[in-house]
Amino acid sequence: MKYLKIAFGLALVAGLMAVVASPALAAQPKWVACQEVTSGKWTNNNCTTAGSGKFETKAVTETVEVTSSSPGGLELEDSKATGGATAIKCEGSDLGTVGNEGSDSITKITATKCTFVKAGSCESGKAATARALNLPWATKLEEVGKEVRDQVTSLVSGKEPGWAVECTVLGVFKITDECTGNTSTGIHNVRNEGKVEAVFDKVTEEKPATCSVGGAKSGFVRGVDLSLLTRWHLYVLAPALGG
């Protein structure tokens, strides 16, 4: 965002109380979409108002396109960078897919409007940039304990998902810090909006990324990424989300 899944990733969607079936029908977290039909059980296109209508929830079985954004910004930090912790916050958008049995992917990520949260040895008055590394990324919905998470890996052989941050040091030098590592995000449905939010949370931080400047266990992502289908409203179906 599937929703930087380490960085502006799509980390995607979860199921509404009214949408979720019994645990026996949702052992594996799945993507479900609110789709228009001839005769359905919902009266609105978010599938949140029950009644005789033209909308129905259906499991996603084909590969469909998903867009994602983080209007509140995602924070990327190297906590052990030379000269002190360095962190920037960027707005982001990305493109990916969701498909059968909880599978999804991230194919393109764009980070914009980056500003310093912690400058470290970087010059806060100069521009900072961020870009995703080792795209495309593969992600997979899994139920862990009593929550649904989106597990994120890279489809590039021998590589891990991550990000590269560039800043200016001593007025003229450009330094790039690359942070990579397999990760996961918490997944939640956004009720009545047909969106899913991927949250870089405390569980995400339990597996910090390895950074080229700060070294092992120094890289963190914080924030929320929102994902939605380009064709339908999207949710996640799983017992942990209300079944």
Cα 43 to chain centroid, rounded: 30
Q: Could you tell me which residues are beta bridge partners of residue 78?
A: 86, 219
CA angle 68, 107, 75 (to 5 degrees): 50
Sign of CA dihedral 98, 102, 108, 110: positive
Q: pLDDT higher for 67 or 232?
A: 67
Residue 71: is the preceding peptide bond cis (ω within 30°)? no
Give the pLDDT score at 20: 35
Residue 136: is the preceding peptide bond cis (ω within 30°)? yes
**b/e code 2-17 from CB counts within 10 Å (16+ = b):** bbbbbbbbbbbbbbbe
Q: With CA atoms as reference, report the closest residue to 82 among 5, 6, 173.
A: 173
Burial of 123 (0-12, 13-18, 19+ CB in 10 A): middle
Give the pLDDT score at 171: 83
Q: pLDDT higher for 241 or 56?
A: 56
**What pTM value is reported for the model?**
0.84
Q: What is the pLDDT of residues 81-100, one digit of tens each?
A: 999 999 999 998 999 999 99
Q: What is the pLDDT of residues 4-52, one digit of tens each?
A: 333 333 333 333 322 333 333 446 899 999 899 999 999 998 888 999 9
Give the pLDDT score at 238: 73
